[in-house]
């Protein structure tokens, strides 16, 4: 039986005396779209950092296709960081950022082959026209597409995204989720996305991991996003639960 | 004009010219990473740390450059280690090491008989002080930097986004240590030309000027190195013509280019 794409078992991460993540256990298989949902400080980004090999667990294990994240094969994981972390003063064109995903260093020059691959990746996210544009001149939605092209250029089997819709309007975020759905279906990839957007989690994810430092729920959106689970994680949910309307993406 | 050409027949002027051009190129090459990572204060901190090493050299009556070199490297590594522990912010760590190095320098100088003239040469730079061994030192650093040119892509990547680079398995912490050490030795090698007080400008101004004029990191690097070496050579000539200190002249020349770029860039 093949190893799960992502497996986390009894994972605990502490910052000093504070348990940021406490005893988290879940598995995601090829073709799963996992939305990680929870209030601020719930440990969502810390979980992503563990899966990317940027943070070490104090207890428990995390595996990508059976290997510790730092030992997973190059190109298996594609990562889309929060765009608010981008240094817009860095002098670069979109195509350079995309090519950086090929080699994991900043390109000094672009070969014809690099350029073709980058343009192809940009074409897939409908952003070919942004190739020569300076990063500082991109809107939030455009930048997110470029980051997505960068993360997908090596056709990763696992795509990890940290709040990809932050700072993007409704149309832009809908387009982004549809691109993710399309990639996941075409390549049977596993998508793991931290989000504050319950609607996106409900409509696009196959599984939802609801966190509040500890694991409040994990399962299909209909189960994990039940009102009592959300109330347990967030304290109160106002009218938000009623907003999760419409058909789920199938 | 012929007087100027005659001057550059002199061995000390030739040494100063070669050292200035190479130091100008080196400092402005590392400067692009300093500027893009917002580490200008690190340049100031390390140059003043060199003061502690120079003063120790004067006290021990050995060539101050060869004491300042390990002294500044240790300070650079210390700043790096303290910062990476995560409890102390980078600028705080630089501020602490900077103050300790200056305090040590003052104590060393106080213990050194008849120090004033030598110390002033290091504080403000003096082309007369550039020896053949200094040219070899600068040449050695340039050779190492050339060998490490493939590191440009990794340093640039981590300058863009450290977490992205770390997620891509780039050994960012180890690369940072190497960059800090090279920065420290470049600063020490620049001290005789620029002076301890002004050497940080060699790192910052050419790179900042290049940033204003370009929109790609590659061209920023090439332009910064060009500006650094050109202003070092031009500044040295101007300093001879007007009989004023070389370090200050080079920095003022760099500053003129920066303000022109600032006014005229789109």
Q: For residue B30, give the nearest of B256, B210, B172 by alpha carbon.
A: B210
- H/E run at residue A11: strand A6-15
How many other β-carbons are positioned within 10 Å of the β-carbon of residue B170? 19
Per the prediction, chain B carries an average pLDDT of 91
Residues 6+ apart with CB under 8 A from A63: A3, A4, A6, A7, A8, A69
| Chain A interface includes B148 (CB < 8 A) | no
| A54/B216 Cβ within 8 A | no
Instruction: Identify from A56, A92, A93, A106 which residue to disrupt to test chain B contact, counting B C-beta atoms within 10 A and taking the largest count.
Output: A106
CATH number, domain of B134, equals 1.10.3470.10
Alpha carbon B187 to its chain centroid, in Å, reads 3
Per-position b or e across B179-212, b if 16+ CB within 10 A of its CB: bbbbbbbbbbbbbbbbbbbbbbbbbbbbbbbbbb
In order along its 250 residues, chain A shows pLDDT tens digits of 678 999 999 999 998 888 899 999 999 999 999 999 998 888 999 999 999 999 999 999 999 999 999 888 778 999 999 887 788 889 999 999 999 999 989 999 999 999 999 999 999 888 999 999 999 999 888 898 999 999 999 999 999 999 888 777 787 788 888 889 999 999 999 999 999 888 888 889 999 999 998 999 899 998 888 887 788 888 766 655 655 545 555 5
> CB–CB of A89 and B36 under 8 A?
yes
Give the mean pLDDT of B19-26: 95
Whether A105 sits inside 8 A of B154 (CB atoms) is yes
> How far is CA B198 from each of CA B116, B122, B235, B253, rounded to the nearest angstrom?
18, 10, 13, 13
CA distance B144 to B140: 6
pLDDT higher than 90, residue B34: yes
| Cα–Cα distance list, B200 to A45, A225, B46, B158 (Å) | 37, 56, 8, 22
Three-state secondary-structure class, residue A8: strand
Are the Cβ atoms of A109 and B218 closer than 8 angstroms? Answer: yes
Q: What is the pLDDT of residue A225?
A: 84
Q: How many CA atoms lie within 13 A of B111 on its CB side?
A: 14
B266 falls in which pLDDT band (50, 70, 90)? low
Which residue among B153, B165, B216 sits closest to A93, beta carbon to beta carbon?
Answer: B216
Tokens of A93: 């064109």
Question: B157 contacts in A (CB within 8 Å)?
Answer: 100, 104-106
Facing A91 at nearest CB: one of B152, B166, B211: B211
CA torsion A185-A187-A193-A195 (nearest 10°) is -30
Write the CB contacts of A78 (distance below 8 Å, at least 6 apart in sequence).
A101, A150, A151, A152, A154, A156, A158, A159, A160
Pairing relation of β-strands A214-219 and A6-15? unpaired
Does A93 contact B215 at a Cβ distance shorter than 8 Å?
yes
In chain A, helix, strand, coil percent, each to 5?
Answer: 40, 25, 35
d(CA A140, CA A165): 9
What pLDDT, on the 0 to 100 scale, is given for residue A199?
A: 85
The runs of H, that is alpha helices, within A7-139 are: 44-52, 94-103, 112-124
pLDDT value of residue A250: 53
Q: Spell out the SS3 assignment of B77-124.
A: HHHHHHHHHCCCCHHHHHHHHHHHHHHHHHHHHHHCCCCHHHHHHHHH
A-B CB pairs within 8 A amount to 77
Q: How many angstroms separate the CA atoms of A226 and A210, rounded?
A: 10
Judged by CB atoms closer than 8 Å, whether chains meet at B214 and A91 is answered as yes
| Complex confidence, ipTM | 0.86
Contact in structure between A13 and A57 (CB atoms under 8 Å): yes
Chain B residues near residue A102 by CB distance under 8 angstroms: none
pLDDT in tens, B149-169: 999 999 999 999 998 999 988
Closest-CA residue in chain A for B150? A108
Give contacts of B168 with chain A, Cβ < 8 Å: 104-105
Q: Is A126 left (phi over 0), alpha (psi -120 to 50) or beta?
A: left
State the burial class of residue A18 (Cβ atoms within 10 Å of its Cβ: 0-12, 13-18, 19+). exposed
Q: How far is A130 from chain B (nearest CA, A)?
A: 15
CA distance A48 to A45: 5
Q: How many domains does chain B have?
A: 1
Query: What whole-number distance in Å separates Cα of residue A100 and Cα of residue B216?
Result: 14
Does residue A141 or residue B202 have the better pLDDT?
Answer: B202
Pick B170's closest partner by Cβ from A86, A105, A134.
Answer: A105
For residues B71 and B53, the answer to whether their CB atoms sit within 8 Å is yes
Number of Cβ atoms within 10 Å of the Cβ of A194: 23
Residue A136 CB-density burial (10 A; 0-12 exposed, 13-18 middle, 19+ buried): middle
| Residue B167 to residue A52, Cβ atoms within 8 A | yes
Tally the C-alpha atoms within 13 A of residue A200's C-alpha that lie toward its C-beta: 27
CA-atom Rg of chain A in angstroms: 18
Distance (Å, whole) CA A124 – CA A109: 23
Q: How far apart are CA A69 and CA A80, in angstroms?
A: 16
Model's pTM, two decimal places? Answer: 0.89
pLDDT for A239 equals 58
| Structural domain of B168 | 2-264
Residue A176's pLDDT is 86
Average the pLDDT over B134-141 and give the result: 94
Our CA-based measurement puts residue B18 at a distance from the nearest CA of chain A, in whole angstroms, of 28
pLDDT the model gives residue B130:
86
> Closest Cα of chain A to B39: distance in Å?
14
- Could B163 and A54 be called an inter-chain contact, meaning their C-beta atoms sit closer than 8 Å? yes
């Amino acid at each position: 039986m093949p190893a799960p794409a992502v497996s986390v078992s009894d994972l605990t991460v502490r910052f000093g005396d504070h348990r940021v993540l406490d005893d988290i256990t879940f598995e995601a298989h090829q073709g799963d779209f996992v939305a990680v949902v929870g209030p601020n400080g719930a440990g969502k980004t810390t979980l992503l950092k563990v899966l990317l090999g940027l943070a070490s667990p104090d207890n428990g294990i995390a595996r990508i296709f059976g290997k510790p994240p730092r030992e997973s094969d190059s190109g298996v994981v594609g990562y889309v960081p929060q765009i608010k972390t981008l240094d817009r003063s860095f002098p670069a064109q979109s195509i350079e950022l995309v090519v950086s995903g090929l080699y994991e260093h900043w390109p000094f020059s672009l070969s014809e082959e690099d350029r073709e691959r980058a343009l192809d990746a940009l074409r897939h996210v409908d952003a070919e026209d942004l190739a020569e544009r300076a990063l500082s001149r991109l809107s939030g939605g455009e930048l997110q597409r470029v980051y997505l092209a960068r993360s997908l250029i090596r056709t990763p089997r696992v795509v990890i995204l940290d709040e990809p819709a932050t700072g993007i309007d409704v149309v832009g975020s809908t387009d982004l989720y549809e691109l993710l759905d399309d990639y996941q279906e075409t390549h049977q990839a596993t998508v793991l996305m931290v989000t504050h957007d319950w609607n996106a989690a409900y409509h696009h994810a196959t599984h939802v991991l609801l966190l509040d430092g500890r694991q409040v729920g994990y399962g299909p959106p209909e189960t994990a996003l039940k009102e009592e689970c959300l109330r347990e994680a967030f304290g109160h949910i106002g009218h938000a639960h009623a907003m999760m309307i419409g058909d789920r993406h199938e | 004009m012929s007087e100027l050409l005659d001057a550059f027949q002199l061995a000390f002027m030739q040494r100063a010219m070669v050292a200035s051009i190479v130091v100008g190129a080196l400092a402005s090459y590392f400067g692009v990473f300093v500027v893009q990572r917002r580490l200008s204060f690190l340049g100031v901190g390390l140059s003043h740390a060199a003061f502690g090493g120079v003063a120790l050299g004067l006290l021990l009556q050995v060539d101050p450059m060869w004491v300042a070199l390990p002294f500044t490297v240790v300070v650079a590594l210390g700043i790096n280690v303290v910062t990476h522990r995560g409890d102390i912010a980078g600028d705080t760590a630089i501020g602490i090491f900077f103050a300790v190095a200056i305090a040590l320098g003052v104590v060393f100088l106080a213990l050194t008989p008849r120090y004033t003239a030598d110390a002033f040469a290091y504080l403000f730079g003096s082309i007369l002080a550039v020896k053949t061994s200094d040219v070899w030192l600068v040449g050695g650093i340039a050779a190492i930097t050339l060998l490490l040119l493939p590191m440009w892509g990794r340093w640039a990547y981590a300058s863009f986004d450290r977490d992205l680079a770390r997620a891509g398995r780039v050994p960012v912490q180890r690369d940072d240590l190497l960059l800090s050490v090279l920065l420290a030795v470049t600063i020490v090698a620049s001290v005789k030309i620029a002076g301890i007080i002004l050497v940080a400008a060699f790192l910052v101004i050419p790179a900042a000027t290049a940033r204003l004029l370009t929109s790609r990191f590659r061209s920023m690097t090439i332009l910064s190195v060009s500006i650094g070496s050109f202003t070092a050579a031009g500044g040295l000539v101007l300093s001879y013509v007007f009989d004023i200190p070389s370090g200050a002249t080079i920095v003022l020349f760099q500053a003129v280019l920066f303000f022109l770029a600032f006014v005229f860039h789109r």
